[in-house]
Copies of this chain bind each other. A is one copy, B any other.
Amino acid sequence: MSLALGIDLGGTNTKLALVDRSHGVLVQQSIPTRAETGPGAVVMALAQTAEGLLTQARVDRAAVQGIGLATPGPLDLGAGKITRAANLPGWQDGPVRDMLAECVGLPVVLENDANAAAYGEYVAGGGVGCEHLVVLTLGTGVGSGVIVNGEILHGHFDNAGELGHMIVVVDGLPCPCGQRGCLERYSSADAIVRRVREGHKGSRGREIEGSREWTAPDIAHAASQQDPVCARIWDEACKYLAVACVNIQHAYNPQRILLAGGLSLAGDLLLEPVRRHLKAQSWSLHTDLPEVAPATLGSDAGVIGAAALAFAPAE
């Protein structure tokens, strides 16, 4: 048996999985990242957890071809470093790839987490067969990964496909990134919750009960029940997502755009209005409109994609 270890390292939790060449997950485990202990200690914890997974799966260490390590970006892929690490304080410019490789004694491929998730959907999820694919992960922000000719698009600075920061409203809402009007200020789960909270404050002079704890799918449901603030903000989120899809169409001409992340749990309450706005806004010069569909791997996309990348060099 030939296996790879996929690791999806997040600011809070990290998932590890042993994955076979058919992209099947044999065993997996989530651990707290404890980023504040520093990259050295975290790498040690990852190595220990990996050993535990091997024991649990009763596979020989020699069966593991390599490790795919997905982390928040931006990254310097050539140097195997995280160049900025908003969620990983103190990790900046730490050579995590080589640290992990040395600690575990296996080759490590480093990849941006959104890219790894997109690659996972490409090899084993909603994007199988789509050599040109874009995955938008709608959660705290809007993450994205772009597959071009069956490979992850990195660009010159290793940071291609940051579509959450596509400007959809010139001079729009300020974004902590420094820009204004970024897609993720309108169409991320967090943005929708924040805008509904502010909208309810604005329209009624006080917050409606419990609105602080609302999730984006709650809002989708309230919108479908004609709550006017929720309906307006949900519809705007879907409309800007559709604008992003038009721009993605013209940028990459993908066969399919997958929607993933917390917001996508709203299912048809998300897909239907996005598709409707997309149809209303799209051009008539060509029949090159991509299909908009749900991602299918959920939170496993990252480890599956990362593991697949670890196999790739050997193939």
Q: Which residues of chain A have a CB within 8 Å of any CB of chain B?
A: 74, 83-84, 86, 130-132, 146, 148, 153-163, 165-170, 175, 177-180, 239-240, 243, 246-248, 250-255, 281-288, 290
Contact = CB atoms under 8 A, between A and B. Distances in A.
Given A132-B156, A156-B132, A168-B170, A284 B251 contact: no
A246 B171 CA distance: 13
A208 B156 CA distance: 47
Contact of A178 (B159, B247, B283, B288): B283
A159 B249 CA distance: 9
B170 A251 contact: no
30 contacts: A74-B286, A84-B285, A84-B286, A86-B285, A130-B156, A132-B160, A155-B288, A157-B286, A157-B287, A159-B288, A160-B250, A160-B252, A162-B250, A165-B246, A165-B250, A165-B283, A166-B251, A167-B168, A167-B246, A167-B281, A169-B170, A170-B239, A177-B284, A177-B285, A178-B283, A179-B282, A180-B281, A247-B247, A247-B251, A251-B251
Given A156-B131, A178-B283, A288-B159, A166 B255 contact: no
Contacts of A158: 253
A252 B282 contact: no
Given A86-B285, A146-B251, A156-B288, 19 more contacts: A74-B286, A132-B160, A148-B153, A155-B288, A156-B253, A156-B255, A157-B288, A158-B253, A160-B250, A160-B253, A161-B251, A161-B253, A162-B253, A163-B250, A166-B251, A167-B246, A178-B283, A179-B282, A247-B251
